[in-house]
A and B are shown apart, each in its own frame.
Chain A
Amino acid sequence: MTTSRFTRRGLLKTGAVTGAAGLALPTIFTSRASAFTNAPMGDTVTLGFNVPQSGPYADEGADELRAFQLAVEHLNGEGDGGMLNTFSSKALDGTGILGKKVAFVTGDTQTKSDVARATAQSMIQKDGAIMISGGSSSGVAVAVQSLCQDAGVIFMAGLTHSNDTTGKDKKANGFRHFFDAYMSGAALGPVLAKAYGTDRKFYSLTSDYTWGWTQEASMNKFLSAEGWSQVKDVRTPVGAGDFSSYIAPVLNSGADVLILNHYGADMVNSLTQSVQFGLRDKMVNGKQFEIIVPLYSELMAAGAGKNIEGVYGSMNWNWQLQDAGTKAFVQSFGTKYGFPPSNAAQTCYVQTLLYADAVARAGSFEPCAVVAALEGDGSSLPGVDSASNKGLVFDGLGNGPTLYRSADHQCFKDALVMKGKSDPTGPYDNLEIVEATPVSKVWYEPDNEMFAGGDLGTCNNGA
């Protein structure tokens, strides 16, 4: 092994050694020597990516993981740099974070709160992770966020759409870039009223956990404001598989719209089965029956195939946007993996960059310094007149100008209303952007009734 030939085997081996070293170096949990949990000691810093790799949200999890890997590559100066080139902050230079090479560990949450906390705990205590990211289920995100708060590490939420994540369950160490159910409702309400009229009766099927509940409440609020009325809301267990006995009562309930507050494999099953039941061919109250999926994902759209045609929904981001950040990200993601990124991937990629940027600007990995850097300098987003419009403003990460609001650690930006395409040209081209609802329309105050009851508390350095 004295010659340095560049072979696949050699490459894998070095990868393994650095990987192992990255895992092994910072194994300090409560060290008296350092002031905060898992202070990086060697020349690497370890991030923990905790995503569902099995269960109903496994597709999203896999895509999130791809995005994390890409983000780490870009942070370490490999690849084409992606959105680092378009990001408005220039604190990152492709030499890792504060000169330390970025290593990462992954875990499988199985979409279960208990398991997710155990995997996060092992990342923090054994692998020395200083930041945990990931998501896809709000129940899991809420559970892991509170663990990170207690342990004194930063939690950069991945895909989590429940109001509670930055509402009643918000934590000082937790940050969310993804939009929430309230914003979905605010964006969808007017569009739906325009498309389907103002005297509709809707029936909701709702995933029985925090995300489903808040999304159902948000949709109800904004559709009621448009003159719609709810016939009934039925809770369904996550991962039910067969939704037939929940769909059958919809048929003759008098409702003319079905709202599916489902996500992932659940949504694919419930939408497919609703279409099989002939719902979309029905006429009720003299109107065409319609199905709405408030939270969309490209992966779900691909799984549901033709059933998605003409169905309205909302998204945090879509690869078809035309800004420079989006183009750069789609280019590097597409080149690496051969298909465009999902909005779950985008939010995870952006969160990783934002964390790294905050550390670089703070000049320290100390969680409280990072929190302060993410809370920004009190600058505000143009176009919104509100006292709470304060925090970190950035651009060039795909969503246009974005505010990380310091009051609740929630990002504010335009929300996308989407619709299933009627003549897709390829497997990834199944959704079209109906409108980008401006941030002022989806804005809310931190003490809004749907977000009330929580308290950020103070940041925790752990140790």
Chain B
Amino acid sequence: MLGLGRKDTTLFAIVVLVTVLAPFLLNPFPADSAMAQFNSGYPDLMQRFAIYGIFAIGFNILFGLTGYLSFGHAAFLGVGSYSAVWMFKLLSMNVIPALILAVIVSAIFSVVIGFIALRRSGIYFSILTLAMAQMMYNLAYSVFSNPAMNLTNGETGLQVYASDPQYLKGNGPDVTHLFGLQMNSTYEMSVAGWKFDFGVGYYLCAVIMLVAFYIAIRIFRSPFGIMLRAVKSNQHRLNYTGVNPRPYNLAAFVISGMYAGLAGGLLACMDPLAGAERMQWTASGEVVIMTILGGAGTLVGPILGAGFIKYFENIFSKINENVLHSWFHWLPESVQNFVVHVLSPFFGEGWSLTMGLMFMAVVIFLPGGLVEGGLRIGRLFRRRPAPTPDAATKPAE
């Protein structure tokens, strides 16, 4: 179906189903129960799940297929955001021109940066991308926020002012919208204590993510994708057979940069403000972590990883000592205090520590990420010899 194989169709159908039903799945606890703090189905976070999913899918096309480890991918995210906000400032709050410009501008940037960085490989490539992204971050932060040519508005972040021209706005709304459909409008459903939010913004992000995911599957299965894997396994051999891998690598780099730009544009569509820190190298590190954690080279891995990290950052980080005490209140007091004392560094503010440890564990023990972990567990339960790993989930070695 849709030009996909049977397994891919199943996978895609599952992802579609999960994405559409996300408002239910992410709010599994009644709104006034103590467990409600684990609910993550509020519009802002759901949008981030989808947007960072796109970002990670795109990163995976580069890293998962070709093995080129870019440490500067957030630069394209930032460029996309800035372009989108500029469209809001100049034209109107409609998201379509914003997204189009975001993709185009990030494509231009990735052609230039890719052309330079791909002249080298291995760690040199990582450092080159890192250097160029840091350079763009520093420029966006200071130079391009000077009064004469204020492209980025520096630390405050680029935002839309009432005094901006907005030539096509007319009587259109003041908030971001898709032909009048406002991004921040939400339908709330209450069912016996449960509350579910259905946001327009989320569903726009979700649809775009599904399209992006579909394209990624097609790329993975295409001759182009196979060529990229050949680059990863042995670039020299490819050279000897008379194939010049550079155009393929550049194409992968640009596609991946466009994904990042699209994600950045969407971020701006959901919240029309673009800050320079989006481009900082730590943000690039984050997408690396997402992709690896979920499973580099697998299809759903990056989406899982992105969701995982964002859940950690927004939900897990709020589990403080009081909450821990309430979890272990059934223990004798001294034991309870001890348990909480031992656990508290890993919860709440310590979420980055937990994330770092998990990331290390994945790199050491599970090179296929959470996806491989899931498969291994699945195999344990099925109690049969490991089947030949199917292509959909096998890390592209």
Contacts and interface: CB of A to CB of B under 8 A. Distances in A.
B121 interface: no
Interface string B155-168: 11101001100000
Contacts of B337: 9
Nearest to B185: A30
A19 B325 CA distance: 12
Interface in B156-199: 156-157, 159, 162-163, 175, 184-188, 195, 197
Given A122-B44, A143-B273, A29 B197 contact: yes
Contacts, number: 138
A112 B314 CA distance: 16
A139 B45 contact: no
Interface in A23-58: 23-25, 27-32, 42, 53
A20 B323 contact: yes
Contact of B154 (A15, A147, A209): A209
B43 A208 contact: no
Interface string B259-275: 00000000000010101
Nearest to B78: A114
B390 interface: no
A28 B195 contact: yes
Looking at chain A's contact residues, the main secondary structure is: helix
Interface in A3-24: 7-9, 12-13, 15-17, 19-21, 23-24
Given A19-B322, A117-B273, A457-B162, A31 B155 contact: no
Given A29-B43, A113-B275, A209 B163 contact: no
Interface string B38-49: 011011110010
Contact of B188 (A15, A31, A118, A122): A31
Interface in B264-298: 271, 273, 275, 277-278
Interface string A122-149: 1001100000000001110011001100
Contacts of A151: 184
Contacts of A138: 156
A324 interface: no
B32 A42 contact: yes
Contact of B36 (A13, A23, A42): A23
A210 interface: yes
B329 interface: yes
A113 B278 CA distance: 10
Contacts of A209: 154-156
A121 B271 contact: yes
A121 B326 contact: no
Contacts of A42: 32
Given A126-B39, A143-B275, A20 B326 contact: yes
A238 to B, nearest CB: 6
A295 to B, nearest CB: 16
A389 B40 CA distance: 47
A77 B349 CA distance: 29
Q: Which of B156, B162, B184 has the most A CB atoms < 10 Å from its CB?
A: B156
8 contacts: A12-B325, A13-B326, A13-B329, A27-B42, A114-B273, A125-B44, A208-B155, A453-B163
Interface of B: 31-34, 36-37, 39-40, 42-45, 48, 138, 141-142, 145, 154-157, 159, 162-163, 175, 184-188, 195, 197, 271, 273, 275, 277-278, 314, 318, 321-323, 325-326, 329, 333, 336-337, 349
Interface of A: 7-9, 12-13, 15-17, 19-21, 23-25, 27-32, 42, 53, 105, 108, 112-115, 117-118, 121-122, 125-126, 137-139, 142-143, 146-147, 150-151, 164, 169, 208-210, 235, 237-238, 453, 455, 457
Given A29-B42, A29-B43, A455-B162, 5 more contacts: A13-B329, A29-B197, A30-B187, A118-B44, A209-B156
